[in-house]
Amino acid sequence: MTLSRTAATFAPPVMEARRWLEGVTFPPERPLINVSQAAPVDPPPLALREAMAEFTVRENHAHLYGPVLGNNDLRAELAAQISAHYAASVEAPQVAITSGCNQAFSAVISAITGEGDEVILPTPWYFNHKMWLDMSGVHALDLKSGDDLLPDPESARALITDKTRAIALVTPNNPGGVEYPADLVRAFFELARETGIHLIVDETYRDFDSRSGPPHDLFLQPDWDQTLIHLYSFSKAYRLTGHRVGAIATGPALLAEVEKFLDTVAICPGQIGQFAALWGMQYLSQWLAGERDEILDRRAAILEGMPALESEGWRLLGLGAYFAYLEHPFDMPSDELARRLVSEAGVLLLPGTMFMPDHDPAGKRQVRIAFANLDRTGLGQLFKRLQGLSF
């Protein structure tokens, strides 16, 4: 009997990890430290919540269908902000709004691939990208990254066949945290353009990039929208995770194909979330800059705390945006370690096995820490719990 597409796909990693908490008691003096998921746990700022509440009550269209590709005012504002952020010129017809960035990825994969096609994913990969490829009948070609967690364009070239339709990058990276250098991103763009495939660049965490200025120049390239598919999320920037608002920037012809997928799956993005995203872009730039500063300070705190772990054999492989990606020193696979950390250290994190193909042993030595919800004090407590462990 042939397995269904979902049956042939692994379980959602974050949900699987949450099940490890069942039956475990965390005493008051050692509460659970949950660094398993990169989602803000705080609500949006009060001013935004009040604006959303007023919009919900005042505007009847807050409760109705809207355009499948998103509201025109939000598409125009995002196009303007992409143009400003990347010192480029992007127009509203090159932008679509989706119900979260995961849906953006799913929509573009459905628009550019057929049964048995291929998409190149650098490893460690973002597991939801791999899951959607599996459920779409698309073969994921794993591109092993270097010790610095940066993929090599020439290694990608060697994987390309007549069935390859895209290369998918995430920068700043999930799970590795690393920020891809501009020249590396450009090299992947040139490779994709030369070989006639798409380059998907997921910049969900771009608002927390440590660099100043445009992180790459892809939007400045002639006919960029024929090769580049740019993905973005409002969830992290404005704490709108529950409202599911993401975006795609690419050519209008491809967006016409994307529209078919979106109309079938969700019809349109939610009106309240779209309003919140627009309001956030218009009024919360200063607040968002403060959020970025806080994330960068937490990143600095991890660097300051690492020597104590390094003395015990841990190794920091990647750091940035919401993530720290580490190699552990224990003589056990990371999935076993992650389960034992719950009961023995009161820490919930994700093992590298969730971000790697089964045939790559590197995942058994790696773990991901999503630190966005820990301040300096919380990070200090996390490091103390990871020190002196003996398994």
Same fold across 13-43+287-386 and 64-283: no
HEC readout, the chain: CCCCCCCCCCCCHHHHHHHCCCCCCCCCCCCCEECCCCCCCCCCCHHHHHHHHHHHHHCHHHHCCCCCCCCHHHHHHHHHHHHHHCCCCCCHHHEEEECCHHHHHHHHHHHHCCCCCEEEEEECCCHHHHHHHHHCCCEEEEEECCCCCCCCHHHHHHHCCCCEEEEEEECCCCCCCCCCCHHHHHHHHHHHHHHCCEEEEECCCHHHCCCCCCCCCHHHCCCHHHCEEEEEECHHHHCCHHHCCEEEECCHHHHHHHHHHHHHHCCCCCHHHHHHHHHHHHHCHHHHHHHHHHHHHHHHHHHHHHHHHHCCCCEEEEEECCEEEEECCCCCCHHHHHHHHHHHHCEECEEHHHHCCCCCHHHHHEEEEECCCCCHHHHHHHHHHHCCCCC
Residues 6+ apart with CB under 8 A from 307: none
Strand pairing class (33-34; 347-348): parallel
AA identity, residue 43: P
pLDDT of residue 287: 97
pLDDT of residue 82: 97
Instruction: Give me the tens of pLDDT residue by residue for the chain, a chain 391 residues long.
Output: 788 989 988 889 889 999 999 989 999 999 999 999 888 888 999 999 999 999 999 999 999 999 999 999 999 999 999 999 999 999 999 999 999 999 999 999 999 999 999 999 999 999 999 999 999 999 999 999 999 999 999 999 999 999 999 999 999 999 999 999 999 999 999 999 999 999 999 999 999 999 999 999 999 999 999 999 999 999 999 999 999 999 999 999 999 999 999 999 999 999 999 999 999 999 999 999 999 999 999 999 999 999 999 999 999 999 999 999 999 999 999 999 999 999 999 999 999 999 999 999 999 999 999 999 999 999 999 999 999 888 7
pLDDT of residue 40: 84
CA–chain centroid gap for 199, Å, is: 16
pLDDT of residue 388: 87
pLDDT of residue 2: 80
pLDDT of residue 172: 97
Residues 6+ apart with CB under 8 A from 28: none
CA–chain centroid gap for 211, Å, is: 18
Cα 170 to Cα 201: distance, rounded to the nearest angstrom: 6
pLDDT of residue 100: 96
Residues 6+ apart with CB under 8 A from 256: none
Q: What's the predicted TM-score (pTM) here?
A: 0.95
- Domain boundaries 64-283, corresponding CATH code: 3.40.640.10
pLDDT of residue 97: 98
Cα 26 to Cα 241: distance, rounded to the nearest angstrom: 27
**Where are the domains positioned within the chain?**
13-43+287-386, 64-283
Cα 195 to Cα 94: distance, rounded to the nearest angstrom: 23
C-beta contacts of 151-156 below 8 A and 24+ residues apart: 151/122, 151/184, 151/188, 153/184, 153/187, 153/188, 153/190, 153/191, 156/120, 156/188, 156/191
Say which CATH topology domain 13-43+287-386 has: Aspartate Aminotransferase, domain 1 (3.90.1150)
